[in-house]
Structure 1
Amino acid sequence: MSPFPKPNPRTSPLAPWLPALQTHLSNPSNTSFTLSTVSLPAPNQNQPNPIPSTASPTPRARTVEFRGFFPTLTLHSSATTALREQNIGLNPDIYESEMLAITTDKRMEKVRELESGSFRNPPPGTPRSQAPNNPALKLGQKVDDLLDPVARDNFRVVVIRPEEVERLDLRDLENVTRTRWTFLPAKKENGEGDGGAWEGSWEEVDLWP
């Protein structure tokens, strides 16, 4: 008997845009993508107003590595072997979702914008003349122990939950198509509020490109 509980059946189908995205990401050489974000400056807790009203949002774009759809992640074969050999195990292959997963280092200055780093290196972006407070942080370290406390403390999995998706199809330049999908949460039985954050439907609208 499986040690994992049987999940409740999902009544909502997976997103209609998911198969096309999975096709684009199925080639191992194409697992990276550009993630764009817009954020305000980091708050200054020493000021009465941590984020001034005059602060301007700043756009960022960076290349990140796609790790699969949470919680069933796509891992390197060596990572899969290490998880099994160190008796940690893998997530049970019984759940599926449209949530994209990437990894990042919590110490990155722009971690809110999802930059990545090395988890036993000195803090990224700090001067080389400044010795790390933790002597365990050094360049060029190879981490084999998946329970390494230093690396695990800095390691983060970032999960992106799409609520609106657009696709621009340029394959036929004489008939370019643009489609937008918006997630509509299911209503409760009494017609009020959110009937479940994970249940609902995707509204599809064709747009002029």
Structure 2
Amino acid sequence: MHRFEVKYSLQGKIVLVLIVIPLLWTIPLFVAVALMPDMPEWMIPSLVVIILLGAIITTLRLVNHKLTVPCEVTMDDNRLEVKLLRHSFLYTITHYEAEWNNIENVSSNIDTQNNKRFYQVRFRKPGKTISLSPDDIIESTDGETEFGKTLFNYVNKLNNTSTAAALKIHSKGFYDSWWAKLLTFFAWTMTVLVIVVSFTRPDSINIWKILGFFAYCVIWLTAYYTNRKKQ
């Protein structure tokens, strides 16, 4: 039996926060532009900077303090068990226990900003994907944590002994998911569209709105291609 204390988060809620919080913070900008069409030129870039900082700070606080909580992970030859060690109002399920053949996918992913790894585990029942993040620092992009080595030892043991293909555990990464590919396609499409419109009808789009949009696209596209390249 192996026991680890790592950080727990739920993929779906993190994705929701990453999308919703920046959108909510852009509402004051559009309201201000609509209510004060004659506002001074210096005020718009100031609002953009304030909104970007507010969105970043709010997102980081939610992810670090409410969406990421400590948990205890127990693994043996029969099962994987996850117990949350701290309450969060965002998580109604605080305990997972599943046999290995009830796990559909396990992936090892790189957090390039912090030189760490996070592991995503998808259960067949309930159909949820959780993220487990050890505090270990990896020395290179090929490095693996002790938690990851132990986790994949059990995964490989099941895959090597299971005769049913439907019960084998897959290794589809965070940036291989359909929503990540869809968001990347959307970011590229909208970027090209904005560039075309800015050249063909330069007076129809506000420069600060363009810069704000490009900021979101660049952040996502950089993370997407950097992580996929290093996985």
Class of the TM-score when normalised by the shorter of the 2 chains: under 0.3
Alignment TM-score, normalising by the size of structure 1: 0.22
